[in-house]
Amino acid sequence: MTPNLKMGLTSKILLGMLLGVIFGLLLRNIFPDSLFIKDYITEGFLHVVGTIFINSLKMLVVPLVFVSLVCGTCSLSEPSKLGRLGGKTLAFYLFTTAIALIVAITMAILVHPGNASLAAENLTFNATAAPSLSSILINIVPTNPLHAMSEGNMLQIIIFAVIFGFAIAHIGERGKRIAALFNDLNEVIMRVVTLIMQLAPYGVFALMAKLALTLGLETFGSVVKYFFLVFFVLLIHGFVVYPVLLKLFTGLSPFTFIRKMRDVQLFAFSTASSNATLPVTIETAEHRLGADNKIASFTLPLGATINMDGTAIMQGVATVFIAQVFGIELTITDYAMVVVTATLASIGTAGVPGVGLIMLAMVLNQVGLPVEGIALIIGVDRLLDMVRTAVNVTGDSVATVIIAKSENEFNEEIFNNTQAGKTTGSFKKQVHAGESEQS
């Protein structure tokens, strides 16, 4: 037997990241102010390769969410089951976001990262107006589903797909034919996901190199305590809170879960977008973790849109930090207000880079804190965005496994099979549900 010298996808992605950072830092230090590097490498080659990678992931999001959710709902034909699934998912998402915020705020009060001297800095930040609650509610129902798809409006696509799938389940024989067609389409899209995942090492190389070349960390010094506090709470949430919840609710091994989540987390980290990561999250939940398509196709797109625990953590710590910097005492009612508004803000945060920081303005306004405070933390937000996105997608996946298990729509054999669904070096060679890899 020849030794298997082929590297797994995860190792290749990690290598891509590492080489990207090294490449970027080297260029930055060897040619500090070179316009050539800026125009042709940073904004040229690296920008093109990185953007093509992210675009190719985004390209799949709308067809994948629509097709996969239609498949999921046509097999969930009873309204009561659908209602229960929706209720459970929302309750679980709100529950984990509340835990995230309570831990974040408590830690920020205890560690006290804000220092009043920072307020002397010249701060300006132009807040974009956050949408009102009524417009968020009205906009859930699309007036034109094609428009919703062309705009990538996830909640509207979810609503339309659920109604469409539900109707398919209720038109008898003809519905079965359409359902079979959607199932085949779903397989095709999943295959394309596998193909694009093969390109990830090159994509993340470009993204990381560009980041290393452009990231300005000048403001880092003054907010170092804030940065590490957010980072620490994110780690606690991702590696302690979620695993404990998984163990408590399902009895499954958190270690297996964490191991199988690695690719999803790396994609989320390098793209800083829950939406762009969605194809990989769905593929992993179904083929590697063992959640049935009925559940994953519903919980994951919904989670990528409304469940942002990592973002809530940043918003919780940032609010307390800004209050401390400006010497404003927050009362217990204010803290409760922060929990409520940051939960709503994280629901309203789109799964794309940087939006969490914009939504922070809404939380600050609500508790009467100066929005200019955001200028203080903007310099370190890009890095935190990457980490919090990894936490956001982990939260969606934990919820999916827990809900799938509670609905008996979970394949424990797949979960426990370390090779199940593993993407190997080749596009054709993906190990499928319940099989074990032949090498």
Applying CB under 6 A, which residues contact ligand ASP? 272-274, 308, 311, 349, 351-356, 385, 388-389, 392
- 82 or 223: CB nearest ligand ASP: 223
- 62 or 119: CB nearest ligand ASP: 62
Provide the token pair at 223.
């907010």
How far apart CA 36 and CA 359 sit, in angstroms, is 36
Provide the token pair at 135.
């417009």
Provide the token pair at 364.
């600050």
| Minimum distance of ligand ASP from residue 230's CB (angstroms) | 11
Q: 94, exposed or middle or buried, with CB in 10 Å at 0-12, 13-18, 19+? A: middle
The pair phi, psi for residue 423, each rounded to 5°, is: -85, 120
Closest CA to 90 of 275, 307, 311: 307
- Taking CB atoms, the residue at the shortest distance from ligand ASP is 356
Contact status, residue 93 vs residue 209, Cβ threshold 8 Å: no
- 70 or 296: CB nearest ligand ASP: 296
- 186 or 315: CB nearest ligand ASP: 315
- 388 or 422: CB nearest ligand ASP: 388
How far apart CA 162 and CA 82 sit, in angstroms, is 9
| Minimum distance of ligand ASP from residue 359's CB (angstroms) | 8
| Minimum distance of ligand ASP from residue 380's CB (angstroms) | 13
Closest CA to 361 of 299, 319, 392, 420: 319
- 328 or 378: CB nearest ligand ASP: 378
Provide the token pair at 85.
């699934």
| Minimum distance of ligand ASP from residue 428's CB (angstroms) | 31
| Minimum distance of ligand ASP from residue 278's CB (angstroms) | 10
- 169 or 272: CB nearest ligand ASP: 272
| Minimum distance of ligand ASP from residue 354's CB (angstroms) | 5
| Minimum distance of ligand ASP from residue 281's CB (angstroms) | 11
- 341 or 349: CB nearest ligand ASP: 349
| Minimum distance of ligand ASP from residue 238's CB (angstroms) | 13
Contact status, residue 264 vs residue 393, Cβ threshold 8 Å: yes
Q: 269, exposed or middle or buried, with CB in 10 Å at 0-12, 13-18, 19+? A: buried
DSSP character string of 341-364 = HHHHHHHH--SSTTHHHHHHHHHH
| Minimum distance of ligand ASP from residue 353's CB (angstroms) | 5
Cβ-based neighbour number of residue 174 at 10 Å: 9
Closest CA to 399 of 298, 311, 315: 298
Provide the token pair at 174.
């003809």
- 155 or 414: CB nearest ligand ASP: 155
